[in-house]
Amino acid sequence: MSAGDYNQPLVRKAFVECPAISGYVAARLRDENYSPAAISGTPVTATVFTVDNLSRETVGFMVRETPEPSVSGTRYNLLGSAISLVPGGVAQFTVNNKLPYLEIYCTQGKEGYLRIQAESLRRWRALAMDRTDPYYPASLWQAKAVPGPLV
């Protein structure tokens, strides 16, 4: 290997597929390499998002960052306004973030579905949702009785 072949860190990709319901968080991402001891020295890092709307309805969302994983923490909007995607639509945008947690917060749509790709020098991992989380829709974990066919 010659000197200078890998002069920059490699870009890491994270993939998330999630339901999109208005008023709820669709996905949470955590920076795997974040060190709490270096909070003041953490540089601003650009993350490129590619979001596909895989549903049959229009879906709106915002990207927010937060310093802690709790549901009661302060959120900071990284976009000027919400992005709205028509069915089958694709959006690509860059956000500059410094904090260790990112959220995709849905502002429009009842039964949407998003496929998200995040590319960054950071290693992003999707977090699991908890049923007690008020930002996670109960319709995704509550069982409903569906009437069967008439015999």
Query: Rounded to an integer, what distance in angstroms lies between the CA atom of residue 101 and that of residue 8?
Result: 24
**Domain 12-33+45-127 annotated CATH 2.60.120.380:** yes
Type of residue found at 150? L
Query: Rounded to an integer, what distance in angstroms lies between the CA atom of residue 146 and that of residue 115?
Result: 28
Query: Rounded to an integer, what distance in angstroms lies between the CA atom of residue 50 and that of residue 88?
Result: 13
Residue 68 pLDDT > 70: yes
Q: What is the mean pLDDT of residues 70-96?
A: 89
Type of residue found at 145? A
Residue spans of the domains in the chain: they are 12-33+45-127
- Residue 35: predicted pLDDT: 63
Query: Rounded to an integer, what distance in angstroms lies between the CA atom of residue 133 and that of residue 131?
Result: 5
Q: Residues 5-17: pLDDT tens digits?
A: 666 677 889 999 9
pLDDT confidence bin for 106, thresholds 50/70/90:
very high
Q: Residues 41-57: pLDDT tens digits?
A: 556 678 899 999 999 99
Using alpha carbons, list the distances in angstroms from residue 19 to 38, 73, 120: 34, 23, 23
18-22, 41-45, 55-59, 92-96 — which is least confidently predicted? 41-45
pTM: predicted TM-score of the whole model, two decimal places: 0.78
Residue 130 pLDDT > 80: no
34-38, 56-60, 118-122 — which is least confidently predicted? 34-38
Q: What is the mean pLDDT of residues 24-35?
A: 83
Tracing tokens 């993350």 back to the chain, one arrives at 47
Residue 110 pLDDT > 90: no
Query: Rounded to an integer, what distance in angstroms lies between the CA atom of residue 5 and that of residue 1?
Result: 7
Query: Rounded to an integer, what distance in angstroms lies between the CA atom of residue 111 and that of residue 98?
Result: 31
Share of the chain above pLDDT 70, in %: 77
Query: Rounded to an integer, what distance in angstroms lies between the CA atom of residue 82 and that of residue 10?
Result: 30
- Residue 92: predicted pLDDT: 95
Residue (of 69, 58, 5) closest to 34 by Cα position: 69
pLDDT confidence bin for 67, thresholds 50/70/90:
confident
